[in-house]
Each structure stands twice: as structure tokens, then as C-alpha cells.
Amino acid sequence: MSKTAKLSNDDESSIQKQRETFVASLSHDLKNPTIAQIRALELFLKGDFGKIQPHQREIIEMILDSCKYMNAMLGSLLATYRNEKGTIKLSSEKVSISDLAAECVDEMVYLAKDKGIKINIINNAKIDIVYGDKIQIKRVIINLLSNGIKYAFKNTDLIIKIYNENNFTCFMFENHSPYIPTDKQQKIFARYISFAQAHKEFGIGLGLYASKKIVEAHEGKIFVKSFKDDRNIFGFKIPNDISFKDKERFVIF
């Protein structure tokens, strides 16, 4: 096939199904070792392998929380691909964006420390509660922060801000990282177009795409701003109106 040849609809459909089958099978295969890790960490905390020191307990508890989050995410992925339309029904519960942000920072603190990046949280929100799916919103924050840390310059600060804007609770971070050209800023939220590609690196391009779909399913908006002095802002806003409490919502990937 020449470089200029286009795939037929059948070819594109076949490739898409192969990708979905791969993700589904990989998610299934990862669940068993993840469950084993959770059990092993729980035994460590119980003292089955000997006494642990307080500072060791803190790290093990943090790793255990990350493993439980991973297990929940894998379950969500499997549920998505069992559904022919790739649809997840979102749960609806009270979610504190500030508490969730702090939880995510705790889980990623050593990733940041490895690059000498200091993370600060500024909470200016009078209302930080939204009604939505805690696991999926956490997925968005983790995706954004992992990119924010990965592409930030070493020994710089990453500032997280939580604030209100009209009837929305907003989460955003600002870091010091390479400028993203205007024409690429919105494209990085497209399927299979990754943040890495904005910097000519390899990336699968699903994290930010999924984040956008999740935020929009909560009737929110995801955003990015980039400045030529090497400052980048990523964030999202979700309605905090209590009328969303019992609203049935779905995210379609």
C-alpha cells in the first residue's frame, strides 16, 4: 500500500477491533498480578513478614492505594470492552476535588521527587464538591499530573489550583515545560494523538483522549493553555450543582 493510499471503512473497523481486543486482553491479564500485589502488601501491613517501621508503613500504604486504584481501573476497562459500544455508566457520588487531588499527589510524590519537582496545592474553592464517578475523575487527575510531571523541566515547581468558576469546581495545574504550539493544543485530546507527539516523542495517545471524554460525560470541560515562556496549564471544570446528583450519565470511548 502506498503512503497516500487510504484505508477502507472495513480496514479501519478491523484495526479498531484489533486494538480493542488487545486492550481488553491486556487488562484481563494484568488483573491477576495486581490482585496478588494487593494481597502481598496487605500481608506486609499485617506484620506477616515481620515488623515494619512507621515510615515503611506509610510507603506501603501509599503503594497499596495505588494498586487498588489500578485494580479498579482495570475492572472499568474490562467492563467497557465487554460492552460492544465501549460505554461506561458513571456512578454518582459526592467527590471532593481537593481531597482527590491530595490523594493523587500522595501517590505520585516519588515520581515528582525523582525529577526534583515540588508540587504545591492552592485550594481557593468555597465549594469543592462535585457529583460524579470518583474513580473516573481520579483517572483524569492522574493522567494530567503524570504528563505534567513527565514533561516538566527538572527542579521546577508544579502548582495545582482548585477554585470555583460560576457553578463549576475547577482543577488545574501549571508547570514549566516546553511550549505546545497553538495548532497542537486541542489535537492532543484526540484519540491516538498523544501529548508526547507534541514534543516529537512516542506515546499511545489514549490518556488525554479518555480524560476529555470523562470530563465531558460529567458535563464539564477540559482545557490547555501554553505560553512561549515555557509555562503550560492543563485542567478541567465540572458542575457542582446538586441537581446533577441523581442524573444518569455515560461515557462512550
- 201/150 Cα distance (integer angstroms): 12
DSSP symbol at 243: G
pLDDT digits 0-9 by tens, 100-125: 999 999 888 878 888 999 999 999 99
- 159: which DSSP letter? E
pLDDT digits (tens, 9 = 90+) for 4-38: 455 566 666 676 666 666 666 666 667 767 877 88
pTM reported for the whole predicted model: 0.73
Mean of the pLDDT values across residues 127-134?
94
| Sheet containing 118-123, strands listed edge to edge, beginning at the edge strand earlier in sequence | 118-123, 157-165, 168-176, 231-239, 221-227
Highest mean pLDDT among 60-64, 85-89, 158-162, 210-214: 158-162
Asked whether the CA dihedral 19, 25, 29, 32 is positive or negative, the reply is positive
What residue type is 242 in one-letter code?
Answer: I
